[in-house]
Structure 1
């Protein structure tokens, strides 16, 4: 075989270069013609009538002179890049092709690797996606995250950033496309726009969902907060699932943990529930405080959190246990067992304040039922908002909400929703002396729910 298999150079067999007058030896000449026939057979026909029977080995080439080009345009074709990578060039300009798309479902935290280039990962539960260092992943590395079950937090390596921030949250039901510059990460800005819009003060103030209820397993000490979202001005937070906080423990992050901002649970107390937003990742939590204002909440335990808005209230009874309640639409509360706040209490023409079982420190509208008796006939009892001043009971004066029907010592009943003062009091007065019973069925404490 006179063709060198490594270089492809053909060399004639020895004894096939005759001189004039020399008798030709048929042995080498027959070998020559056989070799020529074999090599012609082993050559690739220009008309493409026969295929290659072994790998085609082309020159490495360059981006401007590819190893495999075209007669009409030699600068378009394929060449070998550094590191054994295949390159494509068009008119001397490099053309990039993406690697195959990779899909996988994930159910927890994950570290994105260089091998995840062009991957699409769907997360079916809350997760943190930690990104490998940008320098390791390299420029043009790209990755897609789908949040399909809970929020997903994307956390770059060390001090590296995504869209200039320490983390990027992909809310449940959304996705984000990431690309690496070699030193930082950037998204397609969809989440940035959504979160920016969510933090825009122009959207308004509201509570959507996040209803309160006694926990079914530990109703005396635990409060459940349903899924929903809360906004106040430029601060917004949402939770995809309900969480539970204990009223008999100081605050700690997460569901099932203590909820008090300070101190121990007290008897006959009012605890205001405030939605919290974690500054780092926007996650939701709740703190309980006796303060009726955000300014009065003790924040010692709340480092890294912003208090967004008051979302409800919980009352305790004489045993420091949560008073069983039902939360209705539009911030309306009904006690499972009505509270008897007056039992045959004296009432007269002298106006007096009456304390009832409603939140302390704020005005609320109490849902009251009364029963009234008096030895005087045609008597009337009046309960009203202390903000109205001092009213006078009776049909010729300011009326009443119950009255005896022309019979001395008879009983009359009535009901009304009455606004209280901030000391959880209403005002009572009668047209003549008598006795009154008052049941408090619940109250309305407006926090911002419209449904």
Structure 2
């Protein structure tokens, strides 16, 4: 009967209907129109441009007031123990490197804009190396120091980071001032004491520039400068006899690592920087002297910039000394004033005569009890001798002045010197 068919159809439709009050669930998938970002397939009566739609490639899209809402991919973590090349599938990945490694980045155009990646250096430094001539933060490479991390973002043409490493690198320099050296004591290398000088761990600051080293470093005085321990240290030329070489702490601009260069210049401005591209000269941290055979003189360095010659140097051997006074050069650095640690012996045929060794900056002092005094004692018996010791500042030509109350002979030994670099420990 037609009536029976109608009632059957009505019953089926009622059964297949979805209650508006949510009292009954769906028993099959809800199939909506694909929609667009401005007219989503599933929307709201009051805000029809907000809802869900089907993007290209079968991806679900979310739109809010006609504007696409994007969601990041799920974070994927992995540990790496060596070199790795980051690819497009690593978008939003977090990789923890447990050993020294180079992270090579696939071409920016391939990765595309908005690709991002987190690298954690957990055990050693990680060098980030973009593809070809592409850059990261404007540089060819970026070193993430062990214990730190960096978020890398691709623009489609270049790479950028969250600038954490830049902040770390500039933190020590941002506003700090001062001038000091802690540690970094110099010493003759035990295996090659005449050609190699060791630098202990420590740190140095000059103004707003700071550098530190957690391990010792060795530099050769018989080779031109090359980065790293055991390599040459001279800024230019070859090692010379009876010369003074000032040691300057260097900081590598890209990763803040420590190095040392040796130069005959007593000032940072005079250091030859031809070989030092990418490095900043921080501060002078010490000095080494060569002998007549171009070998490093054997020395012991103590805290607070004090140097002791392993073998005392006989500077004057029965040199004539008289009332007129004279200047004499001794074995200390040239180009700077230092405080020499000296011992002397004065002999004269006269009696009650004394000798005075002093800083040339004091002018022409006169030796004697009624004048400027003495530091070599007083002859009590004719042709006898008197001894003394003192710390005497030199001039920049490594000279001291000596004068006596009567003609005689002077012997003078140097035990070392103090060259103030601001070392506090």
RMSD: 4.1
**Contact 2:153/2:161 (CA < 8 Å) preserved in 1?**
yes
Preserved contact between residue 228 and residue 238 of structure 1 (Cα < 8 Å)? yes
Choose from 258, 267, 270 the match for 2:244.
270
CA gap of 1:149–1:425, structure 2 versus 1, over 3 A, is: farther
In 2: Cα distance, 1:84 partner to 1:336 partner: 82
Tell me the equivalent position of 1:415.
389
Distance 1:142 1:241 in 2: 35
What is the CA deviation profile of residues 95-148 of structure 1, one whole-angstrom value per residue up to 9, with x for unaligned ones?
333333344555665443333333344455665544332222222222334445
Provide closer, same or farther for how the CA distance between residues 343 and 160 of structure 1 changes in structure 2, counting only shifts above 3 A: same
Q: Which secondary structure does the structure 1 equivalent of 2:110 belong to?
A: helix
Q: Distance in 1 between matches of 2:323 and 2:149?
A: 68
Cα–Cα, structure 1 residues 245 and 85, in superposed 2: closer, same or farther, change >3 Å?
farther
How many angstroms does 1:440 deviate by? 2.0
Aligned to 1:225: 199
The answer for the alignment partner of 2:419 in structure 1 is 445
1:246 and 2:185 aligned: no
Aligned partner of 1:261 in structure 2 is: 235
Which secondary structure does the structure 2 equivalent of 1:254 belong to?
A: coil
Q: Does 1:189 align with 2:176?
A: no
Q: Does the residue aligned with 1:203 lie in a helix, a strand or coil?
A: coil
CA distance in 2, matches of 1:41, 1:326: 100
> Contact between 2:87 and 2:106, CA under 8 Å: does it hold in 1?
yes
Distance 1:367 1:49, change over 3 A: farther
1:398 aligns with 2:372: yes
Distance 1:49 1:96 in 2: 32
Distance 1:236 1:83, change over 3 A: farther
Do the aligned residues in 2 keep the contact of 1:335 with 1:442 (CA within 8 Å)? yes
Out of 380, 383, 398, which is 2:354 matched to?
380
Q: CA shift at 1:200, angstroms? A: 5.5
Contact kept in structure 2, 1:150 and 1:240, CA below 8 Å? no
Q: Is the 8 A contact 1:373 1:434 kept in 2?
A: yes
Q: Deviations over 1:342-367 (max 9, x none)?
A: 34444333312222111122221112
The corresponding residue for 1:212 is 186
- Note closer, same or farther for the CA distance 1:100–1:214 as it changes in structure 2 (3 Å cut): farther
Aligned 8 A contact 1:277 1:284 in 2: yes
Name the counterpart of 2:313. 339
Q: In the aligned structure 2, how far is the partner of 1:228 from the partner of 1:80?
A: 62
8 Å contact 1:222–1:244 — kept in the other structure?
yes
* 1:365-418 deviations in Å (ceiling 9; x for gaps): 112233444454444322111111221222211112231474556654433221
Structure 1 residue 439, shift from structure 2 partner:
2.8
Change (3 A) 1:71 1:300: closer
Partner of 2:267: 293
Distance 2:375 2:163 in 1: 60
Moved more, 244-253 or 99-108: 99-108
Tell which deviates more after alignment, 124-133 or 70-79.
70-79
The 2-side partners of 1:202 and 1:134 are apart by 38
User: Residues of 1 paired with 2:108 and 2:93: CA distance?
Assistant: 16
Residue 101 of structure 1 corresponds to which residue in structure 2?
75
List alignment gaps of at least 5 residues for structure 2. none
The answer on whether the counterparts of 2:176 and 2:207 sit within 8 Å (CA) in structure 1 is yes
For the structure 1 residues 99 and 379, does the alpha-carbon distance in structure 2 shift closer, same or farther, using more than 3 Å as the test? farther
The offset of 1:73, in angstroms, is 7.6
Q: Tell me the residue number matched to 1:321.
A: 295
The gaps in structure 1 that reach 5 residues or longer are 1-17, 21-28
1:143 corresponds to: 117
Note if 1:311 corresponds to 2:281: no
Q: 1:108 to 1:263 in 2, by over 3 A?
A: farther
